[in-house]
Amino acid sequence: MINVSLARQLLEEFSKDNEAYQEFIRRISVGIAQDDKVRLLILDSVIKEVATKSDIDALRKEINDLEQRLRTATKSDIDALRKEINDLEQRLRTATKSDIDALRKEMRDTEQGIKTELKSYVDVKFESVNKRIDEIREDMRTYFFGFLGGILATLIAIILTKVF
């Protein structure tokens, strides 16, 4: 076992002398490369952290499957939404059409009611005017015959006074 103070001295020496540090690293690297047991130990510890080609392929397949499922789910959601929107649009069109038809009928009924009421009002007024004209005509006849009777009586009186 290396003494802790010796390790500290070695670290301090390496921090002061970069060449010594580089030489130490080279020798350690060569030693690791030449010793099969150490090399295997390092590879074993590193390999646990490294993904293999089969790991990457499996992950790629899993991602592709997930992507395909998402595409299918999204497409079906979009299709369902599209159908729902079309159904809603159709219901709105039907409701709007029936509302417009009801409004048209109501307007026709109102128009017919106003026409009937106006015709009734005009008929009453015309009847009243005709009655008044008939009364005036009757009065005019009376006045005319009275006036004519007066003229006739005057003429007869003049003729009778001249003849007798």
Let me know: does 12 contact 5? Beta carbons within 8 Å.
no
For the chain, what is the largest distance between any 2 Cα atoms, rounded to a whole number of angstroms?
A: 189
Judgement on whether residues 85 and 12 belong to the same structural domain of the protein: no
So what's the pLDDT on residue 14? Answer: 87
Q: How many domains does the chain have?
A: 2
Judgement on whether residues 26 and 68 belong to the same structural domain of the protein: no
Judgement on whether residues 32 and 16 belong to the same structural domain of the protein: yes
**pTM, full prediction:** 0.40
The string of DSSP letters for 142-162 reads HHHHHHHHHHHHHHHHHHHHH
Which pLDDT tens digit goes with each residue over 38-79?
Answer: 888 888 887 777 777 888 889 999 999 999 999 999 999 999
- Which residues span the domain enclosing 18? 1-50
Judgement on whether residues 130 and 101 belong to the same structural domain of the protein: yes
pLDDT in tens, the chain (164 residues): 557 788 888 888 889 999 989 999 999 888 888 988 888 888 888 777 777 788 888 999 999 999 999 999 999 999 999 999 999 999 999 999 999 999 999 999 999 999 999 999 999 999 999 999 999 999 899 888 888 888 988 999 999 898 87
Judgement on whether residues 30 and 56 belong to the same structural domain of the protein: no
Give how far the C-alpha of residue 127 lies from the chain's centroid of Cα atoms, to the nearest Å. Answer: 59
